[in-house]
Amino acid sequence: MNHPVRLTFNGKEIEVEKGTLLIEAAKVAGAELPHFCYHPKLKYDANCRMCIVEIEKMPKLQTSCSTVVAEGMVVRSNTDRVKEAQNGVMAFLLGNHPLDCPECDQGGECQLQDFAHRYSPTVGSFGETKRVFEKEYFGPLIEKEMNRCVSCLRCVRYCDEVIGANALGSMDRGSVTEIGGFAHHPLDCEFCGGCIQICPVGALTSRASMYDYRPWQVKKTDTICTYCGDGCLMTMETIDDKVIRTSSKLGVGRNEGDLCAKGFFGYGFINHQERLTRPIIIQNGKMQQVTWEWAIKKAASDFMAIKEKYGPEAIGGIIGAHSTNEETYLFYKLMRDIIGTPHVDSAARYGDVNAHQALNAAFSTTCLMRYEDIVGADLILSFAGDMTETNPICAIKVKEAVRKNKAKLIAIDAFNTQRDTYKSHLPHIASLHLQIKMGTEGVVILGLIKILASQATPSPVLSADYIQRMKQATESISFEMIEAISGISKATLGEVAKRYAGASKAVLIVGSAITRNSNGYQNMLNIADLALLAGQVAKEGAGILALTDCPNGGGDPSGGSERPAPVGRENAGVVTRGKTLVEIIDAVERGEIKALYIVGDNPVRSLPQKRVEAAFKKLDLLICQELFMTETAAAADIVLPAASFAEKEGHYTSQEGEAQKVRKAIDPIGTSKPDWAVFSLIAEKMNAPFGFKSVNDIWKERVLSLPPAPTLEEMVSHIDAFCAAPRQFILPFAASSNGIKDLFHLQVGKTLSHAGKMSTYADGLNLITPNQSILIHPDDAERLGIVAGETIEISFPNGDTGSIQMPIALSNRLALGTLFVPEHCSMEIKRGLPFETDPVTHVPYGNYGQVRLSKVAVAV
Amino acid sequence: MPTYEKILLKNMEQPGYTGSLSDYRKTGGYMALEKVLKGIAPAEVIDTIKRSGLRGRGGAGFPTGVKWSFIPKDHPGPKYLCCNADESEPGTFKDRQLIENDPHQMLEGITIACYAIGAQTAYVYIRGEFFLGAKIIQGAIDELYQAQLLGKKILGSNFNLDIYVHRGAGAYICGEETALLESIEGKRGKPRTKPPFPATHGLYQKPTVVNNVETLSNVPHIINRGPEWFAAIGTAKSTGTRIFSVSGPVNRPGNYEVPLGITFREMIEEHAGGMKEGKRLKAIIPGGASASFFTSEHLDVKMDFESVAAAGSMLGSGGVTVMDDETCMVAATLNLLEFFHHESCGKCTPCREGSAWLLQILRRIEGGEGRREDLAQLEQLSHRIEGMTICAFGDAEVAPILSTLKHFRAEYEAHIDEKHCPFRPNLALAMAVP
């Protein structure tokens, strides 16, 4: 305690930190004060008047949620006067409250019920007609039952203070005050469900689980959300083998109890009726359910046959984003040690390896900062304009830094900052927003490096030699060229560089715009140089954070193909570099790889569809382990039903590098099995059992297999070596229009409610965004003479891929001349977008391109 | 009839006085400002106001000079002064007269107050329905800018000031000072929890003084004629004059400026010309709708802050509503509760829920469907609201109920026993529907 304050609470002497609110101090004295409007996450509003206490020398009763402790204060919450006042407040709150507890979803976890039980007389004195509001809905997922509301405004305040969506407010006044969106407009918000979670009563409840449960019937299991790399702790609430809802606990986990739309409404895929429940053999297009015994035997014998005939390198493996650390580890082990092939890769190849390999190359680690550093920073430099969509909780940390701690946000992205829609969009709260031309982040980074290199002075961290080299390497790049490509002037870059380098603690956040787009690896290396030149890395409170959409994004840093053999078994497996994701597909196409084992990944969707499908036709064996009959599974010979994250144990390592426990909430659906169990069975059938008794055994071995974290000295010498390496900067491909009129820049990415294909099996999320539309700025739509919902034709200037048709949706967030296609409905579009792989990391790039739009002629 | 020297209404009662800047200046207007700017330090101005004993005319009667002295002297950022011209208290119409007929008197007061507290921006928060008043103040402000009495370097000093007119949108609660601040900030007009007080965390969380129109209008006169002159008027603790708005069945309803401390009897019988023929005084609301009722037994209570408080009510906004013996006290109370229920902002539980509950019971009683236990319930509910709310609204809405229950309980009982209003026996059916 830095500044202890002594006071007396209910006769007990206590000592608390200066500035503590009485309601918190009461806990120290062992008293819980009843309350509704108070919430530790929010600024006090003192409107419910329930937490009142008597303070000596103050004539009136005081609300403990708004009163700060003072030295020598004598406080009582147990006097008759306080009790009578509490009874009064309870009588007021209960007077109009409906007696619908039996059908209220909050019943059993309702603060009004709990406090009514303790603070109100058993007989009510309300003899008037009750006030009745009509039930309303905030969209498809939130039910508003104002009769149950206690007007504490926690929902409104959460939406304002934490999310920043400002979607809710109180309407009308006095006894007919109600919560609502402005002027009855539909909610313009993130659908994070925070208002439902923070409501102390049943006024706001989730329609996704309406009437499905009583709170005391659910089994609660704490686990980690699987929708992105933020690493949010969530509670799975289940009855029997059904996930009823998800929730979170105040202040707990890296998310501190906040969830996003995907976390709160996205659990529907787990119990989806289309989940695969039995192994399936597909022959000549016919599907046949088989037993596990049969399927495993077939898989093992087919692998062995191919290994015998073509050698082990004719077998390849790809593991997806939702497998745990243990499973990924075991997969590599199965493929390398038992089957004996080096050609294994993981979903990290879709972009995360760019960040991991670059940061490792520069700093020998990827764990350069934590979320606390975002909150505590005085400047945040963000190359992730879509952070709210891809990594919503990380975005909340940024909002907290900006709103509560007055940090400055510099946002560099291709989005608009028009404020009339989607208020919680991050560029809106930026103190400086650089709206660049789509895909030109790399150019801006070089511009910043050039400025910082010209201004840097040698220091123990930055050698004169390094600075000189950076200067020379950026010499040939002119600011005119930078501006021509990116649209950002030298003066603006200078301002950004000045603020970034001048901040006392600055963090740099990188999103998919860099890691998953062309030149990603080089851009990430340049990010390292940028942070080094600005002195904003390897320093307390500063650092670089690369966002990822993989729940285990931090757990598989180098991807399968570069992974060395496990400790103690160096000689057992293959240590040579294997083929990476796209190389594997290419090798399949060339007939070099004859068998492929794909676990939880869908290359048909993620890579150019036709090319992958054609390659798969050449395979002798394709085994796919999946939750659903995906496009890849449909092309397989053997489909093995996998258990989802809710059905298994293990660890996910978040983008922060935090390894967190995934816990089993329900038994696997049908006969599905966790990936690790399937690998174990196959290994056993191949006469090489792993011998692990539990997931924990795998975890232990995996932890031991990891190289030790670098020491400080090692890091320093690593950075020195990185700085000493030669530099050559080339302006990345100029993404500006190539002269063809009316070309739109198109980016594929994630939306608030959907991440990949899995989310489309969650009914809750489908209700938020029911349509699969291409997003366009309203002005562009008007210019083209098309309206929201209308189908347009998209054609590609290069290549002969034909055209496709899609309905449009309008969004002010998009810059003029740009289009956004949600990833979950991008398969067809991607066929026409240019495709390339990174020269160093082999990361596939196919999410960006230029297209032409035209109105679809309507046949009369 | 005793006559007294008027201070605030003096100019406007001169024939031909238009309230324009030139007219105001002819009466010595802006001499006080000149005097202050030419050589009285801000601290000295505050001290002068303190010594005058001037107290707030809005309702609470807080000493004005003391309020000004709470503003932190060394605060680095902006400070604000807000003139409360919301005048929304039922039965009160004095500020309106001051605004419409002598706006410069108030504006000079604002300017001096800003100089004293070091504010460079002032807002006049005016009741939305005062279209004419808003227009007049804006006209007066425009005149001042033209005469370089507002803006930069006023009268060659280093003092800068801008004054803005901000019109309310019709909520009674915006007369409450913190709700007023919220409203100026563009938010819903809802009171803030205090502390912190506006003196340190006011408009935009900056040090702010909120003063009533009448309060500020007194300031130039105190500067011109000295605090001792002002303190000599009225009583020892309630100095100066006050404008009382008298309404009801009296012969001459209207605004009367008198020294604090005359009796209600003198006000009603002399200045307001007594009760209309055939009417007998039954009740008085001594200080706006938020004040507890008086009866004819209180006629000799003196109209100063202390005496009215000692007699169980408050001088409040200066709105004196007189009621005769044909007035049903339950109906009068119900009328006020309809108002308070309509105007409760809904922020805090006791007022939000309690006002509706009280109203329903009162409607039943007036409609002839009262129950004996209703009276005890009215009292219990009132006590559960009193002192339990964020702002003084809660105390205000229960004052009429508690005081009429105290003074006119028999009337309530008659309603209940006779199952109709003794004054309006045919009302029962109309009131049955809530």
Which amino acid is residue B193, in one-letter code? Answer: T
Residue A415 belongs to some domain of the structure:
yes
CB-based contact B355 A175, cutoff 8 Å: yes
> Could you say which of A58, A78, A98 is where a domain stops?
A78
Identify whether residues A343 and A410 lie together within a single domain.
Answer: no
Percentage of residues of chain A with pLDDT beyond 70: 94
Q: Give, for B94, the enclosing helix (H) or strand (E).
A: helix B94-101
Residue A91 belongs to some domain of the structure:
no
Q: Is the peptide bond before B350 cis (omega within 30 degrees of 0)?
A: no
Q: Which of residues 165-194 of B touch A (CB under 8 A)?
A: 171, 188, 193
* Dist. CA A471–CA A477, nearest whole Å: 10
Note the pLDDT of residue A802. 78
Number of folded domains that form chain A: 5
Note the pLDDT of residue A738. 46
Give me the residue label for tokens 């109105």.
A855
| Residue of chain B with shortest Cα separation from A128 | B360
Residue (of B175, B166, B185, B182) closest to B125 by Cα position:
B166
Name the region of A859 (left: φ>0; alpha: ψ -120 to 50; beta: rest): beta
CB-based contact A44 B390, cutoff 8 Å: no
Asked if residues A832 and A796 have their Cβ atoms less than 8 Å apart, the reply is yes
Q: Average the pLDDT over A599-617 and give the result.
A: 94
Residue A117 belongs to some domain of the structure:
no
Residue B236 belongs to some domain of the structure:
no
Residue A104 belongs to some domain of the structure:
no
Q: For chain B, which residues score pLDDT lower than 70?
A: 427-434
Note the pLDDT of residue A703. 84
The per-residue pLDDT for range B409-430, each reduced to its tens digit, is: 999 999 999 999 999 877 654 5
Identify whether residues A432 and A566 lie together within a single domain.
Answer: no
Identify whether residues B40 and B121 lie together within a single domain.
Answer: yes
> Could you say which of B291, B309, B324 is where a domain stops?
B324
Identify whether residues A694 and A755 lie together within a single domain.
Answer: no
Residue B166's domain is classified under what CATH number?
Answer: 3.40.50.11540
Residue A770 belongs to some domain of the structure:
yes
Residue B360's domain is classified under what CATH number?
Answer: 1.20.1440.230
Residue B31 belongs to some domain of the structure:
yes
DSSP string, A393-413: HHHHHHHHHHHTS--EEEEEE
Residue B176 belongs to some domain of the structure:
yes
A-chain residues near B377 (CB < 8 A):
125, 127
CA distance A62 to chain B (A): 8
CB-based contact B356 A175, cutoff 8 Å: yes
CB-based contact A177 B346, cutoff 8 Å: yes
Residue A421 vs residue A404, higher pLDDT: A404
- Among A96-105, A611-620, A848-857, the minimum mean pLDDT is found in A848-857
**Number of C-beta neighbours around residue A32 at 10 A:** 12
A-chain residues near B364 (CB < 8 A):
128
Residues 6+ apart with CB under 8 A from A163: A189, A190, A192, A194, A396, A399, A424
A-chain residues near B360 (CB < 8 A):
128-129
ipTM: 0.94
Percentage of residues of chain B with pLDDT beyond 70: 98
Give the mutation candidate from B193, B369, B383, B386 for the A interface (greatest A CB count, under 10 A). Answer: B193
Note the pLDDT of residue A426. 86
B-chain residues near A45 (CB < 8 A):
193, 347
B-chain residues near A129 (CB < 8 A):
360, 434
**Mean of per-residue pLDDT scores for chain A:** 91
Residue B6 belongs to some domain of the structure:
no
Note the pLDDT of residue A432. 94
Identify whether residues B187 and B248 lie together within a single domain.
Answer: no
**Any chain A CB within 8 A of the CB of B357?**
yes
Q: Average the pLDDT over A329-335 and give the result.
A: 93
CB-based contact B349 A176, cutoff 8 Å: no
The per-residue pLDDT for range B307-327, each reduced to its tens digit, is: 999 999 999 999 999 999 999
Identify whether residues A523 and A657 lie together within a single domain.
Answer: no
Note the pLDDT of residue A574. 41
Identify whether residues A583 and A676 lie together within a single domain.
Answer: yes
CA distance B342 to chain A (A): 7
- CB-nearest to B348 from A47, A125, A128 is A47
| Residue of chain A with shortest Cα separation from B339 | A174
Identify whether residues A565 and A595 lie together within a single domain.
Answer: yes
Altogether, the residues listed in chain B come to a count of: 434
Whether the pLDDT of residue A131 is over 70: the answer is yes
* Dist. CA A317–CA A339, nearest whole Å: 10
- CB-nearest to B388 from A45, A49, A169 is A49
Number of folded domains that form chain B: 3
Asked if residues A619 and A338 have their Cβ atoms less than 8 Å apart, the reply is no
A-chain residues near B388 (CB < 8 A):
49, 52, 61, 85, 88-89
Name the region of B203 (left: φ>0; alpha: ψ -120 to 50; beta: rest): beta
Identify whether residues A392 and A530 lie together within a single domain.
Answer: yes
Identify whether residues A473 and A409 lie together within a single domain.
Answer: yes
**Any chain B CB within 8 A of the CB of A63?**
yes
Identify whether residues B158 and B93 lie together within a single domain.
Answer: yes
Whether the pLDDT of residue A559 is over 60: the answer is no
CB-based contact B193 A44, cutoff 8 Å: yes
Give the mutation candidate from A38, A47, A50, A58 for the B interface (greatest B CB count, under 10 A). Answer: A47
> Could you say which of A495, A524, A546 is where a domain stops?
A546
CB-based contact B353 A93, cutoff 8 Å: yes
**Any chain A CB within 8 A of the CB of B354?**
yes
Identify whether residues B217 and B166 lie together within a single domain.
Answer: yes
Identify whether residues A344 and A428 lie together within a single domain.
Answer: no
Confidence of residue A567 (pLDDT cuts 50, 70, 90): very low
**Any chain A CB within 8 A of the CB of B404?**
no
Pairing of strands A142-144, B319-324: unpaired
CA distance A52 to chain B (A): 9
Note the pLDDT of residue A710. 82
Identify whether residues B198 and B278 lie together within a single domain.
Answer: no
* Dist. CA A688–CA A710, nearest whole Å: 34
Residue A632's domain is classified under what CATH number?
Answer: 3.40.50.740
**Any chain B CB within 8 A of the CB of A2?**
no
The per-residue pLDDT for range B255-295, each reduced to its tens digit, is: 999 999 999 999 999 999 999 999 999 999 999 999 999 99
A-chain residues near B355 (CB < 8 A):
174-175
- CB-nearest to B350 from A44, A60, A89 is A89
Identify whether residues B15 and B125 lie together within a single domain.
Answer: yes
Identify whether residues A54 and A175 lie together within a single domain.
Answer: no
**Any chain A CB within 8 A of the CB of B347?**
yes
Exposure on the CB side of residue A573, measured as CA atoms within 13 A: 27
CB-based contact A173 B171, cutoff 8 Å: yes
**Number of C-beta neighbours around residue A405 at 10 A:** 12
CB-based contact A95 B357, cutoff 8 Å: yes
Residue A187 vs residue A344, higher pLDDT: A344
Whether the pLDDT of residue A89 is over 50: the answer is yes
Note the pLDDT of residue A712. 85
Residue A783's domain is classified under what CATH number?
Answer: 2.40.40.20
> Could you say which of B277, B301, B324 is where a domain stops?
B324
Domain hosting residue B310, numbered range: 241-324
CA distance A123 to chain B (A): 14
Which amino acid is residue A227, in one-letter code? Answer: Y
CB-based contact A175 B377, cutoff 8 Å: no
> Could you say which of A213, A243, A269 is where a domain stops?
A269
Residue B270's domain is classified under what CATH number?
Answer: 3.10.20.600
Identify whether residues B113 and B221 lie together within a single domain.
Answer: yes
Residue (of B231, B221, B285) closest to B29 by Cα position:
B221
CB-based contact A174 B356, cutoff 8 Å: yes
Identify whether residues B215 and B284 lie together within a single domain.
Answer: no
Domain hosting residue A23, numbered range: 4-78
Pairing of strands A743-749, A848-855: antiparallel
Confidence of residue A416 (pLDDT cuts 50, 70, 90): confident
Residue A718 belongs to some domain of the structure:
no
The per-residue pLDDT for range A443-475, each reduced to its tens digit, is: 999 999 999 999 998 988 889 999 999 999 999
The C-alpha torsion from B194 through B197 and B198 to B202, rounded to 10°, is -70
Identify whether residues A686 and A631 lie together within a single domain.
Answer: yes
Identify whether residues B337 and B319 lie together within a single domain.
Answer: no
CB-based contact B356 A88, cutoff 8 Å: no
Identify whether residues B221 and B287 lie together within a single domain.
Answer: no
For A607-669, list the strands marked E by DSSP: 621-626, 638-641, 650-653, 659-662
Note the pLDDT of residue A183. 59
- CB-nearest to B353 from A95, A172, A173 is A95
Give the mutation candidate from A128, A152, A176, A178 for the B interface (greatest B CB count, under 10 A). Answer: A128
Note the pLDDT of residue A569. 40
B-chain residues near A127 (CB < 8 A):
371, 377
Identify whether residues A526 and A655 lie together within a single domain.
Answer: no
Identify whether residues B170 and B248 lie together within a single domain.
Answer: no
* Dist. CA A149–CA A289, nearest whole Å: 52
- CB-nearest to A93 from B171, B341, B349 is B349
Identify whether residues B194 and B292 lie together within a single domain.
Answer: no
| Residue of chain B with shortest Cα separation from A95 | B353
CB-based contact B193 A63, cutoff 8 Å: yes
> Could you say which of B187, B211, B231 is where a domain stops?
B231
CB-based contact A89 B349, cutoff 8 Å: yes
**Any chain A CB within 8 A of the CB of B54?**
no
Note the pLDDT of residue B434. 41
Whether the pLDDT of residue A568 is over 90: the answer is no
Whether the pLDDT of residue A801 is over 70: the answer is no
**Any chain B CB within 8 A of the CB of A91?**
yes
Asked if residues B264 and B289 have their Cβ atoms less than 8 Å apart, the reply is no
Residue A362 belongs to some domain of the structure:
no
